[in-house]
Amino acid sequence: MSITTNTAITLARRPVGPPQADDFRYTQTEIGAVGDGEVLCRTVYLSLDPYMRGRMNEGPSYVPPAGLREVMPGGAVSQVVESRYESLASGDFVMGYTGWQEYSVSPGAHLRKLDPDVAPISTALGVLGMPGMTAYVGLDEIGQPAAGETLVVTAATGAVGSVVGQIGKIKGCRVVGIAGSEEKCRYAQEELGFDACVSYRQADFSDSLKEACPDGVDVYWENVGGASFFAALGLLNDHARIPLCGMISYYNLTELPQVPDPTPRILRTLLVRRVKLSGFIVFDHQAREQEFLREMGSWVRDNRVRYREDIVDGLDNAVDAFTGLLQGRNFGKQLIRVSPDPTRG
Amino acid sequence: MSITTNTAITLARRPVGPPQADDFRYTQTEIGAVGDGEVLCRTVYLSLDPYMRGRMNEGPSYVPPAGLREVMPGGAVSQVVESRYESLASGDFVMGYTGWQEYSVSPGAHLRKLDPDVAPISTALGVLGMPGMTAYVGLDEIGQPAAGETLVVTAATGAVGSVVGQIGKIKGCRVVGIAGSEEKCRYAQEELGFDACVSYRQADFSDSLKEACPDGVDVYWENVGGASFFAALGLLNDHARIPLCGMISYYNLTELPQVPDPTPRILRTLLVRRVKLSGFIVFDHQAREQEFLREMGSWVRDNRVRYREDIVDGLDNAVDAFTGLLQGRNFGKQLIRVSPDPTRG
C-alpha cells in the first residue's frame, strides 16, 4: 500500500489569549515524492510543549514564528516508511522537528536515529530529549546546585521540572517543588523523591513555600513566572541563581493587570542578594547533547531519574491537549500518540 | 593643642522619601582616649555615595542598617593625629569607613595607608577607591565587554559610571552614556571619550538611546533603574549582560505607581535574549583590591581613565550635598572637604 495523503494541523490564525480550536486547521494534503537524501516518516508520538504557544505569536523571538497556513512546528518521534538517505532504513525510529502531522518528508540529516533497545522511543521527546536536556544543561550552567542547598522548581511534575528536581536530589540538594494540585505534589514527593511540594493554587501558597524552605532558596528554577516568581523572590539567599527557562503563566496573557510597580522590588532583591538570573534556551547548547544522553541515560536506566508521560491518542485531540497543557491540565510529559507505537505490546 | 571635641552627623530618624535636614543631627562629643592599636584621625574628605540612602532604612540588606543616634556611616580619607598602631604614624594619610564626622578613633587595622605621591589622596574615595573598584570588578566579572560590543552605562558621569564607560573604551567597546543633563553628556563625550551620551530628562529619551545604539546593547550597566532600565531592555542583544549595581531612581520612593505589570515583559526579554543579569556588591570581591589598584593606578597615571570630583567645603553642607546627590545635582564624585587637604596647595 502506497501512502498518498497526509493529515496535518496548520496555524490558521494567530491566537489572542488562550488558543481556540479555530486558530488551527486540519488539512489533507498529498504526500509529494521523496527526494534524494530525504525520508518519509509516519509520526508515532508528537510532543506538545509550552514554548509552542510563543511560536504562534508574530514578532521576533529566538526563532522565527510559526507561519500562517503552515504545519504547526514541533518535535516528534516517527518511524521511517521510505528512505532515500543512506543512514536510515525503512522501519527505523527517528526523532525530528517534523511538526503536527501524520506523515512527514524531511532531509534525513535533520533526523536523529533512536535505538528502541536503549530506551522507550517516546523518551526522546521527554527525559532523554529537549526537555530533559534543558533541565540538565540549564541546571549545570546556571543553577549550579551544591549539596545542602535548597532548590525550588516550578511546574515540578512537568517534563522539565521533574528532571530539574531529580537532578537536584542527585546533587544532594533539598528539593522543593511547586505544582498545580495536591495530586501532583504527592507524586513529586512520593515518586520523584522531592523533599516537599507546594500547590500554587492553595490559599496560603506563599507561606507554605516559606515553610518548605526553612533555609531560604539557593536555586530557583523558573518555568512559570507570576505568583511563584514573587513568592520565591522573598526567599532568595545571598548569591542565589535563577535559571529562567519559561513563564507559562504569562503565555496566554492579553491584558497586563494594573499593579503597584514591582520593578523596584525585583531589582532591589536581585542586587541586595547578589542574585544571578540568566535566560536560558537549550538550542544554544547542542554541543553537550552526547554528554547529556550518556549521563541522563544512565540515570534513567538506574531509576535515579523517573519520568511520567501523559499520552493522548489521536492527532484529532492535539489541539485540546495543547490548550490543556497551557492550563496545567496535563500530568507528566504531554504526548500525542499519532499512530500506534510498534515497540509497545 | 590637644583635640577634645568632635562634631559628628548622626541619624536622627529614618527618612520617608527624600532625606530631610531633620533626619540628621549635628552632635558635639568628647573624643575618648586612643586605645592600644587605635588611631585618632582628622577627616579630610568624606565620601558621599548613593548606597548610603539604603543604609538609612530599617530592614535587612547586605549590611546592617545605620543605627539611630549613631554616626552616619561612610568612607573618608583622613590624616592621622595620634597613633597607637605600629604601622601608622602621626601625619600619615589613611582611607577608612570612619563616618560623617570631623575626628574618628578607630582600630588601625581597619585603615588603609595612602601614599600621596602616588595619587591625590581624594582618589582613594573615587577612581582608586570603592566606586572605581565597583566599576572595575563588576565589568570584568559580569559585564565582560568584548571589543566591538556596545556598552550602555547609566549615571554616566558619576563615580562608578564614568569609570565603567572609560574601561569600556579601553576594551574597545562602543560606549553610550545615560546622564541627567546636556552638560554632563557633553563632558562624557568630550572629556571621557564616550561615543555618545543621552540625557534621560529629554522628551525623546528612549528613541535617542535607540539611535545611539544602532547595533543594540551587549552590556547594560545599571546604576539607576526606572526609565533607563526599560529603555535599555528593548535594545538588548542576544546574550547581553546586565551588571546590577544600583537603582538610584528608586531610593527615595515612598509609593509605587500603578502600572501595567511589567514583569512579563522583563522576564520575557531576559529569557528570549538569554540575558545574564547579576546583582553585584563590591565587598564580595576584596580579594581583587591589589590587582585593581595596580591596573587602575596605571590607567589613571596614563590619563586613560580620567575623573572629576564635586567637592563641597564643610561638614555643615554634607546633608544638603547628600540630598543633592540623590537627585543627580552633583557633577562627578561627591566629596565633602571636612578639613583642608594638606597635600593640595
Check A271 against B229: CB less than 8 A apart.
no
CA distance linking residue B8 with residue A110, whole number of Å: 73
pLDDT-derived band of residue B245, with 50, 70 and 90 as boundaries?
Answer: very high
Question: CA A269: distance to chain centroid?
Answer: 28
CA distance linking residue A227 with residue B279, whole number of Å: 22
- What ipTM describes this predicted complex? 0.94
Q: DSSP letter string over A163-212?
A: HHHHHHHHTT-EEEEEESSHHHHHHHHHTS--SEEEETTSTTHHHHHHHH
Q: Which of A62, A267, A272 sits opposite B62 (nearest CB)?
A: A272
Minimum CA–CA partner of A252 in chain B: B264
pLDDT-derived band of residue A270, with 50, 70 and 90 as boundaries?
Answer: very high
Q: Give which of A58, A244, A189, A252 is closest to B275, Cα–Cα.
A: A244
**DSSP H stretches of helix in chain A:** 51-55, 130-138, 161-170, 182-190, 205-212, 227-233, 263-272, 289-301, 318-326
Chain A partners of B264 at a C-beta cutoff of 8 Å? 225, 247, 250, 253, 256
Q: Which of B61, B266, B284 sits opposite A266 (nearest CB)?
A: B266
CA distance linking residue B23 with residue B38, whole number of Å: 30
Shared-domain flag, residues A65 and A171: no
Minimum CA–CA partner of B64 in chain A: A272
- Residue A14 buriedness (CB in 10 A; 0-12 / 13-18 / 19+): middle
pLDDT exceeds 60 at position B1: no
Provide the pLDDT for residue A60: 72
Q: In Å, how far are B19, B247, B262 from B226, measured between CA atoms? A: 20, 8, 11
Chain A 268-297, residues with CB within 8 Å of chain B CB atoms: 268, 270-281, 284
Shared-domain flag, residues A325 and A247: no
- The beta strand positions in chain B, using DSSP E, are 5-11, 24-30, 38-47, 76-83, 93-96, 103-107, 112-114, 150-154, 174-179, 196-199, 217-221, 236-244, 258-260, 276-279, 309-313, 333-337
pLDDT-derived band of residue B4, with 50, 70 and 90 as boundaries?
Answer: confident
Check A225 against B263: CB less than 8 A apart.
yes
Query: Which residue carries 549550579 as its cell?
Result: A144
Shared-domain flag, residues B18 and B159: no
> Is the residue at B291 inside a domain?
no
Phi, psi angles (nearest 5°) of residue A273: -90, 0
Provide the pLDDT for residue B62: 76
Phi, psi angles (nearest 5°) of residue A176: -120, 125
Dihedral over Cα of B38, B43, B48, B53: its sign: positive
pLDDT exceeds 60 at position A165: yes
- How many CB atoms are closer than 10 A to CB A319? 22
Shared-domain flag, residues A146 and A276: yes
Q: Rounded mean pLDDT of B226-238?
A: 97
What is the model's pTM?
A: 0.95
pLDDT-derived band of residue B61, with 50, 70 and 90 as boundaries?
Answer: confident
Q: Rounded mean pLDDT of B243-250?
A: 95
Do B72 and B15 contact (CB within 8 A), yes or no?
no
Q: C-alpha grid cell for residue A244?
A: 529562567
Q: Which of A61, A268, A278 sits opposite B247 (nearest CB)?
A: A268
Shared-domain flag, residues B120 and B252: no
pLDDT-derived band of residue A277, with 50, 70 and 90 as boundaries?
Answer: very high
3-state secondary structure of A253: coil
pLDDT-derived band of residue A64, with 50, 70 and 90 as boundaries?
Answer: confident
pLDDT-derived band of residue A209, with 50, 70 and 90 as boundaries?
Answer: very high
Strands A196-199 and A276-279: unpaired
Q: Rounded mean pLDDT of A187-200?
A: 98
Do B202 and B183 contact (CB within 8 A), yes or no?
no
Chain B 202-261, residues with CB within 8 Å of chain A CB atoms: 222, 225-226, 229, 238, 244-247, 250, 253, 255-261
CA distance linking residue B25 with residue A286, whole number of Å: 61
pLDDT exceeds 90 at position A219: yes
Q: C-alpha grid cell for residue A58?
A: 508574530
Q: Best of A277, A280, A282 to disrupt the B interface by mutation (most B CBs within 10 Å)?
A: A277
Overall domain count for chain B: 2
Shared-domain flag, residues B140 and B221: yes
Chain B partners of A275 at a C-beta cutoff of 8 Å? 278-279
Check A256 against B261: CB less than 8 A apart.
yes
pLDDT exceeds 80 at position B3: no
Nearest-Cα distance to chain B for A270, in Å, is 5
Shared-domain flag, residues B151 and B279: yes
pLDDT exceeds 80 at position A228: yes
Nearest-Cα distance to chain A for B287, in Å, is 17
Cα B56–B59–B62 angle (5° rounding)? 80
Chain B partners of A227 at a C-beta cutoff of 8 Å? none
Q: Give which of B134, B182, B180 is closest to B283, Cα–Cα.
A: B134
> Is the residue at B82 inside a domain?
yes
Q: C-alpha grid cell for residue B182?
A: 546636556
Q: C-alpha grid cell for residue B122?
A: 581624594
Average model confidence (pLDDT) across chain A: 96
Shared-domain flag, residues B227 and B147: yes
Tell me the pLDDT tens digit for each residue of B183-212: 999 999 999 999 999 999 999 999 999 999
pLDDT exceeds 80 at position A2: no
> Is the residue at A32 inside a domain?
yes
According to DSSP, residue B180 is labeled S
> Cβ neighbours of residue A112 under 8 Å, at least 6 residues apart?
A94, A95, A96, A124
Minimum CA–CA partner of A260 in chain B: B258
Dihedral over Cα of A105, A106, A108, A114: its sign: negative
CA distance linking residue B123 with residue B307, whole number of Å: 9
Check A279 against B275: CB less than 8 A apart.
yes
Q: Is A70 on the interface with B (CB under 8 A)?
A: no
Phi, psi angles (nearest 5°) of residue A189: -80, -45
CA distance linking residue B277 with residue A281, whole number of Å: 15
Shared-domain flag, residues B157 and B258: yes
Shared-domain flag, residues B268 and B176: yes
Q: C-alpha grid cell for residue A121?
A: 522511543
Do B97 and B75 contact (CB within 8 A), yes or no?
yes
Tell me the pLDDT tens digit for each residue of B114-135: 999 999 999 999 999 999 999 9
Rg, C-alpha atoms of chain B? 21
Shared-domain flag, residues B253 and B321: no
Check A274 against B260: CB less than 8 A apart.
no
Tell me the pLDDT tens digit for each residue of A280-299: 999 999 999 999 999 999 99
Chain B partners of A273 at a C-beta cutoff of 8 Å? 62, 279
Chain A partners of B272 at a C-beta cutoff of 8 Å? 61-62, 279, 281
Provide the pLDDT for residue A53: 94
> Is the residue at B249 inside a domain?
yes
Minimum CA–CA partner of B237 in chain A: A62
Check A274 against B268: CB less than 8 A apart.
no
Strands B76-83 and B93-96: antiparallel
pLDDT-derived band of residue B23, with 50, 70 and 90 as boundaries?
Answer: very high
Do A310 and A136 contact (CB within 8 A), yes or no?
no
Whichever domain contains B70, its CATH number is: 3.90.180.10
> Is the residue at B187 inside a domain?
yes
Whichever domain contains B175, its CATH number is: 3.40.50.720
> Is the residue at B294 inside a domain?
no
pLDDT-derived band of residue A63, with 50, 70 and 90 as boundaries?
Answer: confident
Say what the alpha-carbon torsion angle B114, B115, B119, B124 is, to the nearest 10 degrees: 0
Shared-domain flag, residues B119 and B191: no
Element (H, E) at A113: strand A112-114
> Is the residue at B297 inside a domain?
no
| B271 vs A60 pLDDT, higher one | B271
> Is the residue at A84 inside a domain?
yes
Provide the pLDDT for residue B50: 94
Provide the pLDDT for residue B190: 98
Chain A, chain B: beta-carbon pairs less than 8 Å apart: 128
Chain A partners of B253 at a C-beta cutoff of 8 Å? 264
Q: Best of A235, A263, A272 to disrupt the B interface by mutation (most B CBs within 10 Å)?
A: A263
Range of the domain at A252: 132-283
Check B274 against A279: CB less than 8 A apart.
yes
Strands A174-179 and A258-260: unpaired
Check B271 against A246: CB less than 8 A apart.
yes
Give buried/exposed letters for B172-196 (b at 16+ CB in 10 A, else e). ebbbbbbbbbeebbebbbeebbbbb
